[in-house]
Amino acid sequence: MKLLVTGGAGFIGSALIREAIRRGFTVVNVDSLSYAANPENLASVEAHPAYRFYKTDIRDRPALDAILATERPDAIMHLAAESHVDRSIDGPGPFIETNIVGTYQLLEATRSYLAGPCGPQSESFRFHHISTDEVYGTLGEDGAFTEDTPYRPNSPYSASKASSDLLVRAWHRTFGLPCLITNCSNNYGPYQFPEKLIPVVINSALEGRPIPVYGDGKNVRDWLYVDDHADALLTVLQKGRIGETYNIGGHAEASNIELVESICAILDEERGQNRPHSRLIQFVADRPGHDFRYSIDPTKIETELGWRPSTPLSEGLRQTVRWYLDNESLWRKLTVRK
């Protein structure tokens, strides 16, 4: 089976590609190599005969048409997106262009591909759109997001992802495009770009700089190890029902301050220093419109498709910290170009 993956040089996309190649898929990676992409994430598969790469922006419709006609994929897994909330607050434009306009161009290119002479002969073709739980807005102390939770995005990033979700739904309903949507909780793990929370904590702690925590640190997120997410995405692709949405969560809620303190404790153990890294924690002005809590109810994917996360948060954090300690030369280069 040949997959076309957009955004495959990013954090989640590269984890998906590494896992797909390991399982015997052929993968075509379409990525514009924006600031958050890193081809080194795919060093382990770049020479594999089942892997091909196109440096292409998903807004470039003629390029998409040509790639689809040449490669003739059996499925598309769409991960290409601008994804950092803080950047979307500072400048929403690229989020609208990539996440909304880019998704539209990809949907139209896919529709043309399926209707044309180069389209797949099999009825099993799928367009799998990968999204976020942030489209649902915020929760209070109780409750969890289900697939029926109304969309109430609160940042330019989440609004752009909600818009792309609705485009995919509309192209399925109106044009019969065989689509799947997944909405995941916060991903973490090796290879994550340094601007995200967990790499920021690790980097700051290692350099002895203040570790910034928004507000009072009590905002809560559900955390999902990236390799578990890759497994879930391939499960949905192969077993999911056309037209359905599946929420993917890690059963791992933690407040930001709890998460930061856990990372500091792991660094204390790994580095064997007498002065605790937690002394560096510094509370800073809260992010505008900061959602209080996200929580995913993954009952649907667990009961219908038999998928469950396999990495507890404590284990995933330790694996992540150790990866950053063992690969400083790799990720420190990325901090220069943030």
List beta partners, residue 130.
182
Give SS3 for 180: strand
Q: Count Cα neighbours of 164 within 13 Å in the Cβ-side half-sphere.
A: 36
Q: Tokens at residue 22, please?
A: 């390991």
CA 157 to CA 186: how far, in whole Å?
Answer: 14
Q: Tokens at residue 85, please?
A: 């909330």
Q: Would you name the residues annotated as active-site residues?
A: 133-134, 157
Query: How far from chain centre, in Å, is Cα 123?
Result: 28
Query: Which of 252, 260, 262, 253 lies closest to 284 in space, CA to CA?
Result: 260
Torsion over CA of 313, 317, 319 and 321, rounded to 10 degrees? 180
Pairing of strands 186-188, 211-214: unpaired
CA 37 to CA 58: how far, in whole Å?
Answer: 14
The amino acid present at 306, given as its one-letter code, is G
Query: Which of 63, 25, 74, 72 lies closest to 45 in space, CA to CA?
Result: 25
Q: What is the 3-state secondary structure (H, E, C) of 211-279?
A: EEEECCCCCEEEEEEHHHHHHHHHHHHHHCCCCCEEEECCCCEEEHHHHHHHHHHHHHHHHCCCCCHHH
For 64, the enclosing helix (H) or strand (E) is helix 61-71
Q: Tokens at residue 76, please?
A: 């598309």
Query: Which of 29, 41, 118 lies closest to 80 in space, CA to CA?
Result: 29
Q: What number of other Cβ atoms are within 10 A of residue 144's Cβ?
A: 19
Kindly state the DSSP code that residue 97 receives in the 8-state scheme: I
List beta partners, residue 5.
29, 77
